[in-house]
Amino acid sequence: MASGIADETTVSTSAKNEAHLLYTGLNQDELQAKTAKSLLNYGTKFNKDVICGSKGLYVYTTSGHKILDWTSGQMSCLLGHGHPEIVKVIADHAASLDHLFSGMVSPPVISLAERLCNLLPPGLDKAFFPSTGGESNEAAIKLAKVYTGNFEIVGLGASWHGVTAQALGTQYHFGRKGQGPLMPGMLMLPPPNAYRSVFRKPDGSYDWEEELEYGWRMIDMQSCGSLAACIVECIQSSGGMHVLPSGYLAALKKHCEKRGMLLIVDEAQTGVGRCGDLMATIHDGVVPDILTLSKTLGNGLPLSAVVTNAEIDRVCSERDYCFYTTHVNDPLPASVGDKVLEIVVRDNLVEHSRAMGKILHDGLNKLKNKYGCIGDVRGRGLMAGVEIVEDRELKTPAQDLGRAVADRAYELGLWANLSSHSSFGGVFRIAPPITITEDLLISGLQLLDKAFETTPGTMAL
């Protein structure tokens, strides 16, 4: 992403006067040189600007740029950066109850488990708390294997579930190459891409039912007879912000039940109110056998959850299920997760997310009507995707144009992540904190409009 700054002197003075900045007076060129020398690559190119502070809905760079954060960090700061109640909980527990032996239990963990399970539908009754989304999916897949006695796991094309062995094995978007064989028994259904799927009804509408039936026919042909589970995201964020069609999740569960499989739903990004329901599965009226949470639950701290029913817990306990890690059920992150859920319910943030989501999607669709390079707007609640194309009829991806718009938005003070992997083309992934106000939402839409307006090639209509 480009590091250009609009009205640099003014913005620099404004940002550097912010009292909450943690690092000030740093030389960005020196920091970048140290970055190049000492930081090991882990699969991304670093943004040129070094971030020296974050507060509320903004992040601040060492060069003095103040940027409206429309991705909630890594889709995680659900309540915004530096939320005062979260800060207090962290400080209190860092001082008095931080980390314990993994076989010990503490009040924050008990409270989080009780609060979370009470908020979820019956059938999601017991939980434990690892650190990352990849860990939670790894644990869920292992639960399914131990419970069923089978080992084959079905995932969806364009999915993202983590980088540990089993999670990566069922991830069909990125990161699979260059490491030799992946986990055996991993099978793929077609990605439910309403915008680009070749499965069409006579009227041209998306025929997801036939696509899903076709996919399961392929699975049955490939399977060696040891199907254990299917894992799915309700909105495939990393794969281009694709929403499962209405009825898809329920049909998927029926396919699983027919084959004696468990259904695992990964709510890393969709959970805790992001999409206008407490969980995306609630919107679809489906109770999975296993639910995984991460990202939003910890508001930026490493915290995830695995939630299932008492029967799966009983059987797996009898069969010596083990996912014993150093930081499982740590009290400090658990206290944060408990506070996040308390705030979301207390402040009616699910309803707020739904209302703000309508404003967001209305605004993005107005931009679609204004610029011919916007091929599709999709998502739900405060989770949206904007796909950039060269031609609306041909749907030709326009990644370079998307990058140019993203760079311009950044210059203007808006961070809206452009996913540009070739597996799906250039799509803006938009997911601001659900505490966002209507004024800041409209301000961000105006900045994005200005970015399209001032970027050559956006095909103003």
Residues known to be catalytic: 160, 233, 266, 269, 295, 429
DSSP tag of 460: B
Burial of residue 289, with CB atoms counted within 10 A of its CB: 0-12 exposed, 13-18 middle, 19 or more buried: buried
Instruction: Determine the Cα–Cα distance for residues 415 and 49; give it in Å rounded to an integer.
Output: 12
What residues contact residue 79 under an 8 Å CB cut-off, 6+ apart?
A: 86, 299, 340, 343, 344, 349, 433, 434, 435
Alpha helices in 120-232 (DSSP H): 133-148, 165-169, 208-222
β-sheet bridge partners, residue 376: 387
DSSP tag of 49: S
Q: What is the DSSP string of 150-163?
A: --EEEEEBT----S
Per-residue tokens: 171: 């991830």
Q: Which of 357, 218, 203 is CA-nearest to residue 280?
A: 357
Give the type of residue at 233: E
β-sheet bridge partners, residue 200: 206
User: Are the beta carbons of 305 and 116 closer than 8 angstroms?
Assistant: yes
Query: What are the two backbone dihedrals, phi and then psi, of residue 362, each rounded to the nearest 5 degrees?
Result: -60, -45
Q: 């429309």: which residue's tokens?
A: 70
Q: 């605004």: which residue's tokens?
A: 363
Bridge-based pairing of strands 186-189 and 414-415 is: unpaired
Alpha helices in 170-309 (DSSP H): 208-222, 248-258, 280-284
Kindly report the number of other CB atoms within 10 A of residue 362's CB atom: 11
Q: 């250039």: which residue's tokens?
A: 426
Crossing angle of helices 349-368 and 438-453, in 10° steps, is 20
User: Are the beta carbons of 86 and 51 closer than 8 angstroms?
Assistant: no
Per-residue tokens: 318: 């009898």
Per-residue tokens: 443: 């301000």
User: Distance between the two ends of the chain, CA-based, in angstroms?
Assistant: 27
**Residue 2, Cα to own-chain centre: how many angstroms?**
24
459: left (phi over 0), alpha (psi -120 to 50) or beta: left
